[in-house]
Chain A
């Protein structure tokens, strides 16, 4: 009893913080989204019937999904090398992966503009070595958005993978080989499933953070790359349209929550199987 009270006391600061900074504002958003201009679901009807909101919701999900997949493809080998390299190389790799956290997202995004534009570093270099004659469109399109987002979000994939991989006992893999599996089969059937908790955590972090991205699509994106956060900002800042912006925010929150539940369920199911 005493121990339980003490635990509760330890949690109190966090509970107060979440209550004041999350539950209260979200309740307020929810209320405005269904009570203005009149009580009802009109704001949600707008979102799910107008092409623009459906289109932007789809954009948001597909950009976040692509970012997650790219982060996993790039992050997996990085995390693997970190686990299996000598300590000093590992330290260097950790340092390199963390570098993006050291500068502001705005500065980095501007830097991408300068590097990727038609007269930028990459195009100049490719033209210089004769690979291309006309500059490539590397920015103000989906490619630019994904590049900018993957760079910023990669650490959220690498570190959960790293911590899970570091705890995997190498003898499982050797046992699989000894029992006659070829390396690819051993990797797919033994190693990959063991990394699943890290992969799922990383994917969830990257996907959920991506859903709310604003600056990167705003600056590196083109005509067709509008994401939901940009619309929410526009509705509030330019029009003071809290009800619709609130409804958009609630849709985003509920969507994220459902995804969280879904991934958890899949993980539990897989764990049951292994």
Chain B
């Protein structure tokens, strides 16, 4: 009794724990090395890196689509961590001790915080097969998603909204509509509803956008959580509004009467980036190539309907998933890519104005 107590105590000391953890890591990477040697593009046996993303089914799909194939081909070990949080990431980089080597960030976060990330080394990272509008000097676009016109088919019947102007039309769709409680991308949506063409949006005429929003101010349920947006559409609390394509796909596949229009869709990108000072930056650079691979991207798209940035991936995308993808040729032509550089320069100021407008 006394003896076993002693042993468990020593395992709990820091050094004991480190030792155990070390053994575990060594043995895992050894297995990885054995499995991967045959394919190894760059032999990274015994090396490791930490991958951080948004958790849940999304990160699970990323693990299967990017991390596992990379472990197989390189012999390196990828450790999963997260969830990604802007404040956490910023704090660890500012403190000079990031524990994450590759992180999934939104385009606005990357553009607003470029100084937090390493440059990609394009001698190592092969991004040549990608649509170059989704490649940033510091990040590889891993998925493309979009803000879409969403509707509940039971509520709107045969009269589905075709444009943002329809979504703003309180005579056509009385009752509440669900809109996102963020100035981004509500400015673009309001301007398009007011008749501005997508190619004439930037620089945004924000006064005009707020004036347009004034017209529907109290006919809106403003949501900040995407789960709430799903709930609103599924229960028919709103007939029309804005929803993320992936969120609509999710509830649609589960049988809810929710559908989207691709007209005037607003595309956005999630990037994979390497935090400045990441301990395994070199492994991370090699990892980027695996995320750009067509097969891996097709796997991601087939799981969660998040769109590939490597056009070659479409060869392996399932036909029933294709209509839901933001980068399919047809859907891409109907929308545009949001200008992350505009938002980098204006997000802070316009967010303050947005908050103030909401209270007024």
Residue contact A140 to B222, C-beta cutoff 8 Å: yes
Residue contact B222 to A223, C-beta cutoff 8 Å: yes
* Number of residue pairs spanning A and B whose beta carbons lie under 8 angstroms apart: 63
What is the minimal beta-carbon distance from A205 to any residue of chain B, in angstroms?
A: 28
Find the B residue at minimum CB distance from A222.
B222
Residue contact B236 to A223, C-beta cutoff 8 Å: no
Partner of A219, one of B90, B217, B225: B225
Residue contact A234 to B113, C-beta cutoff 8 Å: no
B358 / chain A contacts, CB cutoff of 8 Å = 223-224, 226
What is the minimal beta-carbon distance from A44 to any residue of chain B, in angstroms?
A: 16
Q: Which of A119, A219, A223, A236 has the most CB of B within 10 A?
A: A223
What is the minimal beta-carbon distance from B74 to any residue of chain A, in angstroms?
A: 33
A52 / chain B contacts, CB cutoff of 8 Å = 352, 355-356, 359
Number of B residues contacting the other chain (C-beta, 8 Å)? Answer: 27
Q: CA A238 – CA B113 in complex, angstroms?
A: 10
Asked if B85 is at the interface (CB within 8 A of a chain A CB), the reply is yes
Residue contact A240 to B86, C-beta cutoff 8 Å: yes
Interfacial residues of chain A within 209-240, with CB under 8 A of chain B in the complex: 218-219, 222-224, 226, 231, 234, 236-240
Interfacial residues of chain A within 7-35, with CB under 8 A of chain B in the complex: none
Find the A residue at minimum CB distance from B238.
A118
Q: CA A59 – CA B355 in complex, angstroms?
A: 13
Give 13 new A-B contacts, CB below 8 A, not counting A224-B359, A241-B348: A50-B356, A51-B356, A52-B356, A113-B228, A118-B176, A222-B221, A223-B218, A223-B359, A226-B358, A226-B359, A234-B351, A234-B355, A238-B86
In order of increasing CB-CB distance, the 9 nearest A-B pairs are A52-B356, A55-B359, A223-B358, A240-B90, A237-B86, A236-B87, A237-B87, A52-B355, A140-B221
Which residues on B are within 8 Å of A, measured CB to CB?
Answer: 85-87, 90, 112-113, 176, 217-218, 220-222, 224-225, 228, 231, 235-237, 347-348, 351-352, 355-356, 358-359
Which residues on A are within 8 Å of B, measured CB to CB?
Answer: 50-52, 55-56, 59, 113-114, 117-119, 140, 218-219, 222-224, 226, 231, 234, 236-241
